[in-house]
Every structure is written in C-alpha cells, then in structure tokens.
A and B are shown apart, each in its own frame.
Chain A
Amino acid sequence: MTLEAPLAPQAPLPKEPVLTLRGISKNFGAVQALTAIDMDIYAGEVVAIVGDNGAGKSTLVKILAGVHGADAGTITFNGRRVSIPTPAASRALGLATVFQDLALCDNLDVVSNLFLGREVGGFTLQEEEMEKHSWTLLRQLSAKIPSVRTAVASLSGGQRQTVAIARSLIGDPQVVILDEPTAALGVAQTAEVLNLIENLRERGLGVVLISHNMADVQAVADRVVVLRLGRNNGDFRIPDVSYEEIISAITGATDNAVTRRASAHGSHEGRDS
C-alpha cells in the first residue's frame, strides 16, 4: 500500500502485452453489444479506444472492470488466463478503472474517496497516514487540490477527475482504464488531465483511454483501436494514421480493417515509388 510504488519508474517495456483480449463477445438479450473483440495492451503505452455511440466501448470497459462478465472469449493478463467476475477481482489483478461518472462519494472528503475500500489501518483507520499519502500522491501528479479534507462535492470537474485518477493509482495497478476523462472538462482542465495521462505512461503503466475527442486521442495516444457496431474495425499506430482514416473507420466508410490495411499499404508503396 505504498504510494511511491505505483509511481516509481518500472522496468523497460516488455515485448509481451500486459493485457490481451481474444474473441470477447457480450450480448444483452437480443442486442449483440460486442462480437469477437481482440485487443492488446502493452506497458508504457496509451491505447485509445474510439467508436461511435453504441460501438461497445463502455461495454468493453465494464468487462475489464468486472462489472459485466464476457459471454465468450479469453482475457490474458501477464501471460496468465484470467476471469474477471467482480470489480474487486479486476482491481486485484492490477486493472484500475476510472468510470465516466467517476464513482466518487460526494459526502466524503478527498482522503476518504482516495482510499475508499482500501483504507489504511487495522481495526481503526490511520487517518494521518492516509492524509499524508494523499498529499504525496496528489503532488506527484502535480494535482491542484487546495485541501484534502473538503468534501468532494465542492471540487471542480477537473479536480474531481484528478481525484478519480489518483484513486486508481492506489493499489499499484499495471493498467489504468479511463472512460471519457475529458468529456465534461474545459480547455485548461482537459490539458491538465492529458498531462496526467502522459504522467501515467511515463511511469510505465498501460493506459486505456476511451474518448470521443479525436484531438485528445491524437495528442496523447500511441495506438488507437476502433470499434464499430461491437466489432474491431481497425488498430492503428497514431504516427501512421491520419484523422480522416480514423474517422472513416469509426463511421464505417471503410468496411473493415483488411481493406483499410490494403489501401494504406497501397498508398505507401505508391508514395515510395
């Protein structure tokens, strides 16, 4: 439960992915929300998951967070096949999820929220330890929170997002999943959160970023995975891909990854010759 640990620089990037999804499917009644999703997440990498409304982004996040179980498919974490039946199991593996609604308790203060469910102390709580660690953590993230003893309700949107992200780091995760972290934020607050995401990557964490905002995705992501109608519809490295290509993959202007790769290769070769 040391807070320095999750933020300490970790070993250089391993070649094996930290988290591998293969053939993940999920249906809600008659609705096939996800069909055979494949995905790899490496340490020290920001992977953006993009897609239109109803593409299955949130369902995928919820499967990783242990809120829903997958109907089919395998999840491999650090080379080991795992199942994620509950949120606690997800966290125990080393997956930390920051939901869009942040899941903060407005009636509790910042310290209580940061350590919610993982309080320090035996029978009685060690408030001082927790408060000290909170300050250390928030400073390392360069977070601007005036007081950790104010109720979370009194914080601004960016501050609440910061608290939620800081909370995900307690418990030494290897992968942090952020669901629409910049959706409700202003320009300056968005920049702060993007800095925070880069901060996480520098610490060697795998970051999964769900976003609607292409500017944010192109600013911080290394790779972008496109979902369309619950299926994989492209996996691009950000330097190799243009805004238009991502958009066409999202909207389905290119039908599948294969044709896109073929055309991308074709255009590359055309340029080379």
Chain B
Amino acid sequence: MTNETTKSNASGDAPKDLAVDISDERLVRHEGLGGAVRGFFQRVRGGDLGSLPVVIGLILIWGVFQVMNPNFMSSNNLVDLTMQSAATGTIAIGVVLVLLIAQIDLSIGSVSGLASAILAVGMIQLGWPIWVAVLVALAAAVAIGFLYGILYTRFGVPTFVITLAGLLAVLGLQLKVLGPNGSINLPYDSWIIQLGTTMFLPPWAAYAVAIIAVLAMFFSDWFRSRRRVNAGLTGDPLTVMFIKSGLLLVLLLVAVWYLATSRGLGVMFVLFVAFVVIMNFFLTRTRWGRAVYAVGGNVEAARRAGIKVNRIVISVLMLGTMFAAIGGLFATARLTAATLSSGGGDTNLVAIAAAVIGGTSLFGGRGSAYSALLGILVIQSISNGLSLLNFDSSVRYMITGAVLLLAVIIDALSRRSRATHGQA
C-alpha cells in the first residue's frame, strides 16, 4: 500500500488530497503553527538568516545602552532617534536598490547636499514656492542618476568610478548653487522645516496608521493564501497569519503609545517607513523588481531572458539619486539650514553602512528594502547612545566601523552556511 502511494507520487500523479506544490514525497513539510516555527529554525540553521542578526543586534544594543544610561529608552530620546534616522535612512533606501543590481553609488552624500542647496536657494533667494523648490531639487537628482546610467550603459565605466567622479562634481555644483554665503537658514514657519522639526502625527492618527498597516498586511497575506488554495497550491495556516498580525499589532500599538507620551510619531519618520514599504512592494511584487534581482544575480542571464538590462540599471541609478535627494531634503528640514557641509562628512558612508548592516549583500541580488530601516536604526542607536554617554565622535566612528565589519562577517558566514546547506 505504502509502496503504491510512493509509486503514484513518483510518476507525477499527485493524490487528490495533496496540493501540487507539496506532492513530492521528498519535500519535508511543516504544517500549522508548530510547523511554521520548526521551518523558521530550519531556515536559520541553513544560513537563511534574513533579518534575524540585525533584530537581535538592535535588541542587544538597546539593552546595553539602557543599562548604561536609563535615558536611552525614554520616549523623548526614542522620538529623537526616529527623527535622526529618517534622513539618512531614506538615502539608504536608494543605496539598497543600487546594491541589489551589484552597483554602488558613492555620490549620494553630494547629491543630498545639492538637493539641500537647491531647496534653500530656490526658497530664499529666488522666492519659489516650496513645492517648486522641492520638485527642482528632485529633478536635478534624477537627472544626475540618469546621467550616471547613460555613462554606465554607453561606456561601461564601473559605477564605482562614475559616482566617485560624481561625488566631486556634484559637491562642486552644491558649492556653486549655495554661492559665496555658504549657509542659508530656512524660515521656521515653512511646512518643509516643520516636517523635520515639529510635525508629529496626533495620537489618534498614529494609532490609525498602525492599525491600517497591520490590517493591510493581514489581508494581503490572507488574499494570497486564498489565491494559492484556489490555484491548487497550499495556503498559509490561518493561525500563523493571526499570530503574525497580532504580534505586529501589539508591537506597533505599544510603540505608538510609548512615543505618544513624548512628542509622538514624526511625520518625516512615517514618510521614511512608507518609502520603505512602497519600495518593498515594487521589489517583491512587480516585474521591475523581479528584473532588479535578476540583474543583480546574473546580469548575463537577465539579458538573455529578454530583460532590458540597461533600462533597469538606469532606473535604479535614478531612484538611488532620487532617494538621496529626498534624504537631503529631510536633513535640511531637520537642521533648518542648508550649509556647505550638508550631505558631507560621513553621510555617504553611514548610508551605505546602513544598507549593508541591514542585510543587503554588497555583491548584488540579495537584500530587501527593509534593510535600510533596520540598518539605520542600528547605526543611529549606536550614535545616539554614545552621545548620551558623552563619548565624542571618535569613539562613535570606531564602534560604527566595528559593527559594519561584524555585519559583513555575518553576511559572509551565512553565505558559507547557505553554500554548505545547498542554498547559496
């Protein structure tokens, strides 16, 4: 009897009660809640760590700083942390995209500085409405990304070199735009400055955003499961979906409630997270996203599959500079001024480090938009915590460097583990 079942499976006629995707008898199946948990541990052992190291790292960092300075986890400081993360985190979204196609953009800092300069000069010296200044800044950044894309696809110069040249050239452009003053203050009553300083969601709106986000995730999972069952495939168990959504709901509600005891949830941070979610959607659910991963994984295979590789590369480089510009505008809004040093200093490297710490591979094809969020939270937590402990930036840089190294080592180890478990 057992023999017969095996035979019918092997010959490809799946028994009626099994969905087609699990009818292969060699496939180890995990059913229900326990199965989901076992499957998770199996993936981790196999080197498919996902976001686990970053999340654990973040919890450890928060724990250590909380022990050393009880103010760290105060709601006021956490609100600061979210607002500090938004600008560079937005730049890091662009870095994630560029890294996914196995390229790099070193000029993101300069581009963010240029956006900041254009905003300030447009608003103050030329008297443009704010939204015009914002659009011009974004258009300039997108044009720079387009130029990079053309240079890369036409001449085949590595983006490393193109954007290194861009770093200098765009920095020059930023200084030119700013003019001899070198620093322009923006009025506090403009909405763009309020966005970075005083614009917080009222508690009811923050709760609503949290609940809508969780409902959206639950229904997205549920509908996908329904579609899979209708297509004759296995769906996800409902209990797992409920527990996943429930945990997220509790987490978000507690976070919103805790932040609301101080100033609350900053609109700028909400925008940053929204950008992350939107890019994650484009990367995982659309043709374009699939092409981005394919180009990063095996560019020759992508080309032969008929993907217009040049268009993908150009579009990603344009998005990279666009997010750099948005990040630059956020930074300007937070600092209430555009200066010569806007986007300078460590902006470049912090944004790239955030993407890598968050789990995006430097070698292309692996990573997710969420790595920008997780990575920037890690870096800003370290930076924020060390400032609370009155360490100066020398120590901060060294520790951030060590964390980056650790992240790359974890990436390398998990890649080796994937290779030995046949998941490379």
Which residues in A have some Cβ–Cβ distance to B below 8 Å? 65, 67, 87-88, 91, 97, 99, 101-108, 112, 116-119, 121, 123-125, 127-129, 131-132, 135-136, 139, 142, 144-151, 153-154
Q: Chain B contacts of A127 at CB under 8 A?
A: 224
Contacts of B175 in A (CB 8 A): none
Contact B366 A107 (CB under 8 A): yes
CB nearest to B23 among chain A residues: A135
CB distance from B260 to the nearest CB of A (A): 35
CB closest chain-B residue, reference A138: B12
> Which of B67-75, B296-304, B342-350 contacts the other chain?
B296-304
Q: Are B297 and A117 in contact (CB under 8 A)?
A: no
Whether B304 and A99, one on each chain, are in contact in the complex, defined by CB atoms closer than 8 angstroms, is: yes
Residues from chain A with Cβ under 8 Å of B290 in the complex: 108, 112, 116, 119, 125
B305 touching A116, Cβ below 8 Å = yes
B424 touches A148 (CB 8 A): no
Q: Are A146 and B297 in contact (CB under 8 A)?
A: no
- B215-229 vs A, CB cutoff 8 Å, 1 = contact: the mask equals 000000000100110
Residues of A close to B231: CB separation below 8 A: 128-129, 131-132
Closest to A148 in B: B21
- CB contact between A103 and one of B21, B296, B304 (< 8 Å): that residue: B304
Chain B 181-228 residues near chain A, CB threshold 8 A: 224, 227-228
Per the bound structure, the CA–CA distance linking A148 and B23 in Å amounts to 12
**Cβ of A107 and Cβ of B27 under 8 Å apart?**
no
- Which residues of A are found within 8 Å of B20, using beta-carbon distances? 132, 135-136, 139
Report how far A44 CA is from B224 CA in the complex, Å. Answer: 40
Could you show 13 A-B contacts with beta carbons less than 8 Å apart? A87-B303, A105-B297, A107-B366, A108-B290, A108-B297, A125-B286, A125-B290, A128-B228, A132-B232, A144-B24, A145-B24, A147-B24, A149-B21
Picked from B228, B297, B307, the residue with its CB within 8 Å of the CB of A107 is B297
Decide: A65 near B304, CB < 8 A? Known: A105-B365, A131-B21, A147-B27.
yes
CA distance A104 to B305 in the complex (A): 9
Residues of B within 8 A of A88 (CB): 306
In the complex, chain A residues whose CB is within 8 Å of the CB of B154 = none
Judged by a CB distance under 8 angstroms, whether B287 is at the interface is yes
B422 touches A103 (CB 8 A): no
The closest CB in chain A to the CB of B229 belongs to: A128
- Residue B230 CB within 8 A of the other chain: yes
Is residue B16 contacting chain A, with contact meaning CB distance below 8 A? no
Q: Is the CB of A87 within 8 A of B227?
A: no
Given A116-B305, A128-B233, A131-B231, residue A105 in contact with residue B422 (CB < 8 A):
no
A190 to B222, CA, bound (A): 42
Scoring B12, B224, B300, B418 by chain A CB atoms within 10 A of each residue's CB, the highest score goes to B12
Least CB separation from B365: chain A residue? A107
User: Known contacts being A107-B365, A131-B233, A147-B21, is A116 close to B307, with CB within 8 Å?
Assistant: yes
Distance in angstroms from A168 CB to nearest chain B CB is: 11
Interchain residue pairs A-B with the least CB separation, the first 3: A117-B305, A107-B297, A105-B297
CA distance A99 to B300 in the complex (A): 11
B152 at the interface (CB under 8 A from A): no
> Does A87 contact B365, Cβ atoms closer than 8 Å?
no
Give the complex CA separation of A150 and B231 in angstroms: 19
> How many angstroms between the C-alpha atoms of A151 and B365 in the bound complex?
12
Q: Smallest CB–CB gap between A115 and chain B, Å?
A: 8
Q: B232 to chain A: which residues have CB within 8 Å?
A: 132
**Contact across chains for B24 and A107 when beta carbons are under 8 A apart:** no
Chain A residues with CB under 8 A of B287: 119, 121, 125
- Which chain A residues lie closer than 8 Å to B228 at the CB level? 128, 131
Given contacts A132-B233, A146-B27, A154-B422, 15 further A-B contacts (CB under 8 A): A87-B305, A87-B306, A103-B300, A103-B301, A103-B304, A103-B305, A105-B301, A106-B297, A106-B424, A107-B296, A116-B302, A117-B291, A117-B302, A153-B423, A154-B424
- Complex CA distance for A87 and B304, rounded to whole angstroms: 6
Give the CA-CA distance A65 to B305 in the complex, in Å.
11
Q: CB distance A105 to B298 under 8 Å?
A: yes
B269 contacts chain A at the CB level, 8 A cutoff: no
Q: Which residue of B lies closest to A65 (CB)?
A: B304
Chain A residues with CB below 8 A from B307, complex form: 116-117
CB contacts (< 8 Å) of B230 on chain A: these are: 128
CB contacts (< 8 Å) of B424 on chain A: these are 106, 151, 153-154
Give chain A residues whose Cβ lies under 8 Å from the Cβ of B285. 124-125
Q: B170: which A residues are within 8 A, CB to CB?
A: none
